[in-house]
Structure 1
Amino acid sequence: MSAVYSVKEIYIYPIKSLAGISCQNALAEEMGFENDRRWMLIDAEDQMITQREHRIMSQFYPQISDGKISITFQDQKHEFSIEEHLENSIAVNVWDDKSEVIEVNKSTSKWFSQHLGFECKLVKIIKNGDRKHESSKLKETFNVSLADGYPYLMIGSQSLDFLNEKLTDKITVLRFRPNIVISSQSPHEEDDFTTFKIGEVQFKNIKPCGRCIMVNNDPDNGKLKKEPLKTLSKYRNVNNSVLFGTNIVSLNSGIINVGDEIVI
């Protein structure tokens, strides 16, 4: 009989590289959870902006309520409607993938420009298919959002516990920006999942997630640390890629909840 796994935590990140939102439930869609990384900041040359270069982005905190997204940064707040956007599309790249996006509005772009200290725009991916990502491993193409690669990142609780046993300063799972945290039985067993169900939603595991320097950004204060990448590289380095968590896709839509059992 299979071990029992369940959903411990759910997170969405409405704007790429900004702080996330903890949820009790979320609508799983092909592109990722509803409102997850549907927005992104781009610079004056229409290049994506992330925490890798601008760690202060972790200090912008979004909330969703009544059809609006509000962003809090220090003692400043700004909000815009989930549905609003301008008309002209912009061609951008998310790593090697081309995507069509549209600016939300001029006042929101101005607000972010003022607080980041350089010209930028907040843009939105509008519809399924505006960005496609090819899996070199599976030779399949997926409709995705503005996440780095795949729509969902899943992490097992034992993977984090095992890492924290090796760290002097313990960290939370927020370092890794997961969408789904599950109660697991042993470290990194989620890497070997194939297909599984959470509620009525069928998921498919694509591949373990290779991590970058961004996991060393402390989300509490935006400061760059030496860990956990230094420790992870000692035992999770596979073909020069440091692995933590696994990339998954959903094969149908539906609501998943904290506490839902995972059926493998």
Structure 2
Amino acid sequence: MSAIYTVKEIYIYPIKSLAGISCQNAFAEEMGFENDRRWMLIDADNLFITQREHRILSQFYPQISDGKISITFQDLKHEFSTDEHIDNPIKVAVWDDQSEVVEVNQSTSKWFSERLGFECKLVKIIKSGDRKHESSRLKETFNVSLADGYPYLMIGTKSLDFLNEKLNEKITILRFRPNIVISSQNAHEEDDFDTFKIGEVDFKNIKPCGRCIMVNNDPENGKLKKEPLKTLSTYRVVNNSVLFGTNIVSLNNGIISVGDEVVF
């Protein structure tokens, strides 16, 4: 493939299922971009919390600056340091993966509990290896963050364009919570990528990403819609899974930036 692909957008999602942050560049690590899904909310039973059950999470907006994460929700704001945590390991499961996390601090957990109306804790994964995810396709185990499965999700622009041609109400790429958006020539061609390089980083494609009801949650207002799953299910179902975007892993650490070419 010739170098006709470039990075158009980069996103990180510091806290699982909350809104994301658009970045001009990001540092890629084995677990995902630095500060990407290193935190998540768990309930009183230590079960992880997502927009699937609590769509209001899309209305919590994080920002990172000077070693601190600030969360804005409506007219309220809360802040905590990226490196703070309580030294008391908590065992949780993220789908089928057992993970070790720690609570950030009690005041942050209390702030989220009051906003959401039920008891919860904000927890953090500390280091690589605290959660391992096995690829049934590759028979290989990866050290991952608190993302649903793999460290990175990549989507080509033509995949969204092709979908929007079929929708009455157009949607943005934010519905799909990608990490890397690339300019592409054909819809869903990213599914067939193998290994490639962006900036300083070598990536490997693992598999197309199966999508859930979360993509029907409008991030603008937290309201559940019928689309895009309804339309995607008419042309993107493989083995009972609706596919959109592809899961990739990094083979080394380094920086990628908006404007970087995708080199094969």
**TM-score interval (norm. to shorter):** over 0.9
TM alignment of 1:77-96, pairs within 5 A: 77-96=77-96
**Correspondence for 2:27:** 27
TM alignment of 1:165-204, pairs within 5 A: 165-204=165-204
Q: Secondary structure at the match of 2:234?
A: helix
Letter in 2 for 1:182: I
Letter in 2 for 1:34: E
Runs of 4+ deviating beyond 6 Å: none
**Cα distance in 2, alignment partners of residues 225 and 163 from structure 1:** 15
**Cα distance in 2, alignment partners of residues 41 and 199 from structure 1:** 32
**Cα distance in 2, alignment partners of residues 94 and 4 from structure 1:** 37
Could you tell me which runs of 5 or more consecutive residues in structure 1 were left unpaired when the two chains were aligned: none
CA deviation digits over 1:82-140, x for unaligned, max 9?
00000100000000000000000000000000000000000000000000000000000
Letter in 1 for 2:5: Y
TM alignment of 1:97-246, pairs within 5 A: 97-246=97-246
Q: Secondary structure at the match of 1:5?
A: coil
**Cα distance in 2, alignment partners of residues 72 and 7 from structure 1:** 28
Number of residue-to-residue matches in the alignment: 264
1:231 CA displacement: 0.1
Check whether the contact 2:3–2:261 (CA below 8 A) recurs between aligned residues: no
Q: Secondary structure at the match of 1:235?
A: coil
Aligned Cα root-mean-square deviation (Å): 0.5
1:200 CA displacement: 1.6
Could you tell me which runs of 5 or more consecutive residues in structure 2 were left unpaired when the two chains were aligned: none
TM-score calculated relative to the size of structure 2: 0.99
1:3 CA displacement: 4.8
CA deviation digits over 1:158-178, x for unaligned, max 9?
000000000000000000000
1:4 CA displacement: 1.0
TM-score calculated relative to the size of structure 1: 0.99
**Cα distance in 1, alignment partners of residues 201 and 105 from structure 2:** 34
1:2 CA displacement: 2.0
**Correspondence for 2:247:** 247
**Cα distance in 1, alignment partners of residues 3 and 10 from structure 2:** 21
